[in-house]
Structure 1
Amino acid sequence: MPSAPSALSTGPAPSTRRGAWTAMILVIACAAQFMVVLDVSIVNVALPSMKASLGLSPAGQQWIVNAYTLGFAGLLLLGGRAADLVGARRTFLIGLGIFTAASLTCGLAADGATLIAARAVQGIGGAILAPATLTLIMTTFTEPRARTRAMGAWSSVNAVGGAAGAVIGGLLTEYTGWRWVFFVNVPIGIAILAAAFLYAPAAHGSRGGLSRLDLPGALSVTVGLTALVYGIISTASSSWGSPEVWAALTLGILLLAAFVVIESKVTAPLVPLTVLRRRTLAIANLVMIGLGSAMFAMWFLMSLYMQQVLGFSALKTGLCFLPGCLAVVLGTRTSTHLVRRTGPRPLLVTGMAISTLGFLWLSRIAVGGTFTTDVAAPFVLCALGLGLSMLPVTAAATTGIDRREAGLASGLVNTSRQVGGALGLAVLAAIASHAAGDHIGPGVRALTAGYGHAFLFAALFTACAGIGSLFLPGRPAPAAPGPAGSGPAGPGPAPGGTE
């Protein structure tokens, strides 16, 4: 198995060999991360086809998205810790294997229950895989500028993967059927597995390995989040005061409280509570929750609006997401070039302001509107704000983190995005459902009113994220020796142990 090139080896120039090796590691990590992020959104355009094929209810459509998101969010912290304890390569291979097998099961599903269960397992595979991709990058690229460029590529994949999912999903649904939105992962996953076996460096984890994983913590946070989201989704068919809703919400809150207690007691917690004393890390994760709450729901609601109200086909809906994809790329590339000079705060405040404007504009959507005149411009604004924000918030969350805790930091920021996405989708879909139910008029008008209300609340989420961004670091101080001057993604702890 090829490993990191040594300066003592003979043959071609060591710098050339190392450059080729690091480039391959970046390709492997980004390709795997693209698959994981893609599967959050690739199903959105295919949901009406799945509903017709499997007889899904509206709540069932949400669970196809949320089963993956909750499996991903609930175990992402465990996956991040596993990357630290047992090594990034081993964690990467295990996660990718589970993800690929679950994708095959999703494509073969004969009923809604099987599909939802397989989506949950797919999310678990993604939760193990995703932190390992960033850990591979952070341990491979140790020079600050090279690491910033690599993180820029990784962040671009995160942003573009979510946006491109709708485009790819539309193409696959239109020409091959909805099952291929899952089958497409199988050959790609096998190819990445083969490349990782050959190129990913073997690394030893901490002493104790898997025996130190915090399974009680993982179980409590996963079931707690699932119960919380279930309670919110149930309000679409039951009142907020119904026993079913209150039981689910109460169970969720109690289990999340138990998670905090467990983390304060166990020897090797998923989230050492002391790490949240790092001011920048804590604020960045709160900002990411707000960002994820709005952005995950955006793809879901926009897809349904274009198909159910504007009457677009799956293919046309997917193609209409292309401007958003390009806006995400533009925003991400811009933030990659600017973040080392400006720091995370200006870019995040700007990005969230742009997205807030876009959501406010989208809240005015109409039944008789068109994509060109009513949707394209505000949608592009929302996507541009997302692109500008993804790298800065990730850089802020991982600034000054020791490489031994890289998996934990990446797991936290990814978990915040997924938790925000799951809760945001549940809340905004419930708002849309209630607003549609309260609207007097034809079904299409009611749907449009519901989506408009949901976009208005999405603007509130991004506005709150922008306000939270004001408390992140501004322009970085001049470079100085040691960890403090290593830039947004620099290794090593911050002075004093807090940020």
Structure 2
Amino acid sequence: MAKSTRDRTPDIDRSAGRSAPTGGGLRRSAPARPGLVLATMCVGMFLVLLDVTVVNVALPTLGAQLHSDVAGMQWVVDSYTVALAALLLTAGTLGDLRGHSRMVLVGLALFGAASAAAGLAPSLGFLVGARAVQGVGAAILLPCTMAVISDTFPDQRARARALGIWAGVSSLALPAGPVLGGLLVTAAGWRAVFLVNVPVVVAAMVACTRLVPPSGHPRAGGRGRADHQVDRTGALACTVALATAVFAVIEWGRGAGVPVAGAALGVAACALTAFGYAERRAARPLLPPALMRSHAFVGANLVAAAMNFAGIGTIFVATLYLQEVRGHSPLRAGLELLPLFVPLAALSPLTGRLTARFGPRPPMVAGLCVGAAGLVALLLPTARSSYAVFLPALLGLGVGMGLLTAAVVTAAMNAVSRDRAGLAGGVNNTARQSAGALGVAVFGAVTGSPAHVRAFLAGVHVLGPAAACVWLAAAVLTVATVPAQPSS
């Protein structure tokens, strides 16, 4: 079958490990060992997601040693998340312009250096700053590892399977974070939580340098100085808008009050207006209007946002329920959350294969419906109910997210041309990270403090059906916007 214009990519000669030159001005050597390239990209993503959760169990110890209050410990987590969510769009575009493999090396270098600085931090402020730089490195790695996989596997079905493996390995970071963090803090102290990243990053950089050939697209090569420029005004406005919006959500969730959150939202609104104005005037806009006119692309990213809004919000509330209401230790609570995280990790490769065969729509709809059933089961737990009563909600959400993750990423990537793969990855992950932060804030605000058990559980019983409705609406949106069959 003839290839479409949007998939005009090198034909890989598997026996020789080379690519034949094609039209469109693209010249690129295919990696001789695509499996090892995939493994290297999975390592980078694993570290990014591991550092979302691994630090939580270390907070009491580092708070005591660095003389931090609760707000300071909160910013140890929040500085990473804000930087990650705010810079994803810009990082994806930089990957498209400068080369995805090159930007993966930059992201790894920043992440590794910041991890070393965090592990050696003499004060809380220094640690918060190091975590923010970690977030910058993570923001570069997230879309660019996806784009390297897209470059390495140009065939859409092979790409879907590879993204399924990528999503599955990445998902292992979620259950590994609390368990690994607990072991490291117990054995070597809180600094080991950050220092353990350094040798892994060095190994990943060596592998990336040796295995991943330099990537290049027509946009990144030789058509004038403007082609090598990032839309700086749009990038700055987008970063400010996202950072202040996420800041407002976090502050609202922490109970800082209307003045702080309202002021931040006002700044975000102004920056968003400036971003729209800049994009209309830019010769090469950061977020091309044509991209946002694609129903498949917009639909996939809205579904990704709905997935993390309900999923991450529920995980936050579930952790509070197990530790504060049921009185379980952090390690026991982490183990009790495995029925949620294990299906998420185990099903992602299967979802990749299903997506390659049937397209992303069937697993997306199935995952949203199963997850909605699990969310409705949040009506069941009480302060004295057994763990078995809580288990259906965890399993339903875990299976639902396991079916969704790889499929929704593939749907977003397939909706754009390959020369915009980095931007597509940035938009998709920005939607997910921002919606996850919003979910934590909204779910935390609705439930309130778990010290007030009756009000907390009443909030959980409201959130379950409400979140289920969000996911069912996302299933309808999937049917309306995502193509029924894989592209040939």
- Fold similarity call, TM over 0.5: yes
Paired letter, 1:374: V
TM-score scaled to structure 1, two decimals? 0.83
Aligned length: 464
Whether contact under 8 Å (2:309, 2:438) holds in the other structure is yes
Counterpart in the other structure of 1:416: 431
Query: Which deviations, in whole Å up to 9, do the C-alpha atoms of 1:205-249 show, x marking residues without a partner?
Result: 334489511233222222222322333333456686x43332122
Q: Is structure 2 residue 112 aligned with structure 1 residue 100? A: yes
Counterpart in the other structure of 2:88: 76
Q: What SS does the aligned partner of 1:213 have? A: coil
Q: Is structure 2 residue 329 aligned with structure 1 residue 320? A: no
Larger deviation: 189-198 or 455-464? 455-464
Note closer, same or farther for the CA distance 1:5–1:259 as it changes in structure 2 (3 Å cut).
closer
- Correspondence for 1:221 among 238, 243, 248: 238
* CA distance in structure 1 between the aligned counterparts of 2:189 and 2:334, rounded to whole angstroms: 14
Counterpart in the other structure of 1:234: 251
- TM superposition shift of 1:75: 0.9
Counterpart in the other structure of 1:38: 50
Note closer, same or farther for the CA distance 1:116–1:305 as it changes in structure 2 (3 Å cut).
farther
Whether contact under 8 Å (1:330, 1:384) holds in the other structure is no
Counterpart in the other structure of 2:477: 468
* CA distance in structure 1 between the aligned counterparts of 2:61 and 2:463, rounded to whole angstroms: 23
* CA distance in structure 2 between the aligned counterparts of 1:293 and 1:396, rounded to whole angstroms: 19
Larger deviation: 71-80 or 251-260? 251-260
Query: Which deviations, in whole Å up to 9, do the C-alpha atoms of 1:43-95 show, x marking residues without a partner?
Result: 34444545555555555454433322221121111111111111112111111
Whether contact under 8 Å (1:95, 1:125) holds in the other structure is yes
Larger deviation: 65-74 or 25-34? 65-74
- TM superposition shift of 1:275: 0.9
Q: What SS does the aligned partner of 2:286 have? A: coil
Q: What SS does the aligned partner of 1:14 have? A: coil
Note closer, same or farther for the CA distance 1:464–1:121 as it changes in structure 2 (3 Å cut).
farther
Whether contact under 8 Å (2:118, 2:191) holds in the other structure is yes
Larger deviation: 323-332 or 71-80? 323-332
Larger deviation: 74-83 or 353-362? 353-362
Aligned-pair identity in percent equals: 36
* CA distance in structure 1 between the aligned counterparts of 2:464 and 2:190, rounded to whole angstroms: 27
Note closer, same or farther for the CA distance 1:111–1:469 as it changes in structure 2 (3 Å cut).
farther
TM-score scaled to structure 2, two decimals? 0.85
Query: Which deviations, in whole Å up to 9, do the C-alpha atoms of 1:157-182 show, x marking residues without a partner?
Result: 33333343333333334444333332
Paired letter, 2:438: L
Counterpart in the other structure of 1:24: 36
Counterpart in the other structure of 1:279: 295
Q: What SS does the aligned partner of 1:476 have? A: coil
Whether contact under 8 Å (1:428, 1:458) holds in the other structure is no
Larger deviation: 33-42 or 85-94? 33-42
Whether contact under 8 Å (1:167, 1:322) holds in the other structure is no
- Correspondence for 2:398 among 379, 383, 406: 383
Paired letter, 2:297: L
Counterpart in the other structure of 1:253: 269
- TM superposition shift of 1:111: 4.2
Whether contact under 8 Å (1:44, 1:299) holds in the other structure is no
What does 1:142-157 align with in structure 2 at a 5 Å threshold?
Answer: 142-157=154-169
Counterpart in the other structure of 2:16: 14
Paired letter, 1:299: I
- TM superposition shift of 1:127: 1.0
Query: Which deviations, in whole Å up to 9, do the C-alpha atoms of 1:323-378 show, x marking residues without a partner?
Result: 223211333233223223432222212211222222232354332334x3233331
What is the Cα-based RMSD across aligned positions, in Å? 3.0
Paired letter, 1:225: L
Counterpart in the other structure of 1:198: 210
Paired letter, 1:394: V
* CA distance in structure 1 between the aligned counterparts of 2:252 and 2:31, rounded to whole angstroms: 54
Counterpart in the other structure of 1:116: 128
Query: Which consecutive residues of structure 2, in runs of 5 or more, have no partner in the other structure?
Result: 1-9, 20-29
Note closer, same or farther for the CA distance 1:355–1:63 as it changes in structure 2 (3 Å cut).
farther
Larger deviation: 282-291 or 34-43? 34-43
